[in-house]
């Protein structure tokens, strides 16, 4: 990863952007992409970076920029904040975490609390945590004090900065899916340096974790002939996962290409032939239904958009410490850019 790209990726990982308020992360993305592409954004907050604007056919690369988070539901008389989830959390990983509330007065620090183990009876200790039994403590001593700092409906993210581990692997609360947003921008940059006849639009879409909002609206406005969703996928190279059930996907072995129901066979085959021609490592991920990515929404836009899914293997998804290998990011961006260069006509259903 070149130094400018690495700096961009870490800024993107640390910027707050829960579904519904992706503005901070989106600004980071647009600032970076404006150095090499025509950049814009729509009224919902999704961002676009276009290379070869008058080219044809049109390829859209979706990387949703939102992350899972929390929302303040209630402020009690003692100033504690009761909250709900934005996207899918395992409540067990939330206990004791620091949070960053996106309050109107600026970022507000807090910590997620739970009844102390020392004060639980034996039966309670064996029960899994539930979100409704957790609260956020911002240090306020009363409801009045808390309401001066925050309000019902404020969104929050975990306060967990990205760090680099052994072998250069990176852990972050927001790898899902700043990885895809990063690739959407990097692919446009690479394509701009060595392009083809196609128009390439990188899209940092909003709202994937809750309703695929950005994918529906941007696919409609961009009018692509082909769509590629770049997201993360669960690696199966760690203890307790079943390769027999989920397939074999490992960190550091390249992006995973979805194959099966939910993706267009021509797009998959073209991605494979591109990877092999360019000597880019890749893996194959089985898909038996919908893909769970922005492609599911793009597929259903206008008269239908054929597409594929290229995923970054990820350990510990939807946790405070999602783990990735940056080599997979570079391979993914290179593959998408190379696919765009080789694209001369859209896939068919013949």
The domain that holds 63 is classified in CATH as 3.40.630.10
Q: Are residues 47 and 181 in the same domain?
A: yes
The per-residue pLDDT for range 82-93, each reduced to its tens digit, is: 999 999 999 999
The per-residue pLDDT for range 141-193, each reduced to its tens digit, is: 999 999 999 999 999 999 999 999 989 999 999 999 999 999 999 999 999 99
Q: How far apart are CA 227 and CA 225, in angstroms?
A: 7
In a domain, 347, yes or no: no
pLDDT at 111 over 80: yes
28 half-sphere exposure, CB direction, 13 A CA radius: 21
Cβ atoms of residues 306 and 346 within 8 Å: yes
In a domain, 277, yes or no: yes
Domain residue limits at 312: 3-67+174-342
Q: How far apart are CA 295 and CA 53, in angstroms?
A: 22
Backbone angles phi, psi at 346, to 5 degrees: -70, 155
Q: Are residues 104 and 51 in the same domain?
A: no
Q: Which value, to the nearest 10 degrees, does the dihedral of the CA atoms of residues 227, 196, 45, 206 take?
A: 30
Q: Are residues 153 and 268 in the same domain?
A: no
The per-residue pLDDT for range 204-243, each reduced to its tens digit, is: 999 999 999 999 999 999 999 999 999 999 999 988 877 7
In a domain, 167, yes or no: no
**pLDDT class of 129 with cuts at 50, 70, 90:** confident
Please return the burial class of 4, using the count of CB atoms within 10 Å of its CB with bins 0-12, 13-18 and 19+.
Answer: exposed
Helical H segments across the chain, by residue range: 3-14, 23-33, 122-125, 143-147, 175-193, 213-222, 243-246, 265-277, 295-298, 326-342
In a domain, 168, yes or no: no
Q: How close are the terminal C-alpha atoms of the chain, in Å? A: 40
Mean pLDDT, rounded, of the chain:
95
**pLDDT class of 245 with cuts at 50, 70, 90:** confident
Classify 29 as helix, strand or coil: helix
pLDDT at 131 over 80: yes
In a domain, 188, yes or no: yes
Q: Are residues 285 and 197 in the same domain?
A: yes
Structural domains of the chain, count: 2
The per-residue pLDDT for range 14-23, each reduced to its tens digit, is: 999 999 999 9
Q: Are residues 198 and 227 in the same domain?
A: yes
Q: What is the mean pLDDT of residues 323-347?
A: 97
Give the pLDDT score at 119: 64
**pLDDT class of 116 with cuts at 50, 70, 90:** low
In a domain, 169, yes or no: no
**pLDDT class of 316 with cuts at 50, 70, 90:** very high
Q: How far apart are CA 133 and CA 112, in angstroms?
A: 10
Q: How far apart are CA 306 and CA 265, in angstroms?
A: 9
Give the pLDDT score at 238: 86
The domain that holds 108 is classified in CATH as 2.40.30.40
pTM of the model: 0.95
Q: How far apart are CA 345 and CA 196, in angstroms?
A: 12
Higher confidence at residue 91 or residue 244?
A: 91
Total length of the chain: 350
């Amino acid at each position: 990863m070149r130094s400018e790209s690495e700096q961009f990726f870490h800024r993107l990982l640390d910027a707050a952007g829960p579904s519904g308020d992706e503005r901070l992360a989106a600004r980071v993305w647009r600032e970076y992409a404006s150095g090499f592409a025509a950049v814009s954004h729509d009224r919902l907050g999704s961002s676009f970076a276009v290379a070869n604007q008058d080219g044809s056919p049109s390829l859209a690369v979706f990387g949703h920029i939102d992350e899972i988070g929390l929302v303040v539901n209630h402020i009690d008389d003692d100033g504690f904040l009761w909250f709900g989830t934005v996207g899918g959390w395992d409540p067990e990983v939330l206990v004791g975490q620091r949070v960053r509330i996106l309050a109107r007065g600026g970022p507000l620090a807090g910590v997620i609390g739970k009844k102390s183990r020392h004060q639980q009876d034996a039966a309670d200790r064996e029960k899994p945590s539930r979100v409704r039994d957790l609260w956020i403590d911002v240090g306020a001593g009363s409801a009045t004090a808390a309401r001066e700092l925050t309000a019902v409906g404020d969104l929050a993210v975990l306060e967990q900065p990205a760090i680099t581990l052994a072998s250069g692997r990176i852990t972050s609360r927001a790898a899902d899916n700043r990885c895809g947003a990063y690739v959407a921008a990097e692919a446009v940059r690479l394509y701009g340096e060595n392009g083809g006849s196609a128009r390439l639009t990188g899209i940092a879409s909003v709202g994937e974790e809750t309703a695929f909002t950005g994918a529906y609206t941007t696919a409609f406005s961009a009018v692509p002939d082909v769509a590629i969703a770049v997201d993360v996928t669960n690696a199966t190279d760690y203890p307790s996962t079943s390769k027999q059930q989920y397939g074999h996907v490992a960190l550091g072995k390249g992006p995973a290409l979805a194959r099966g129901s939910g993706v267009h066979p021509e797009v998959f085959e073209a991605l494979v032939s591109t990877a092999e021609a360019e000597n880019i490592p890749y893996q194959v991920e089985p898909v038996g239904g919908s893909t769970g990515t922005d492609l599911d929404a793009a597929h259903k836009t206008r008269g239908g958009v054929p597409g594929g899914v290229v995923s970054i293997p990820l350990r510990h998804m939807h946790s405070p410490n999602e783990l990735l290998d940056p080599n997979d990011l570079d391979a993914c961006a290179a593959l998408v850019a190379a696919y765009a260069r080789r694209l001369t006509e859209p896939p068919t259903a013949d």
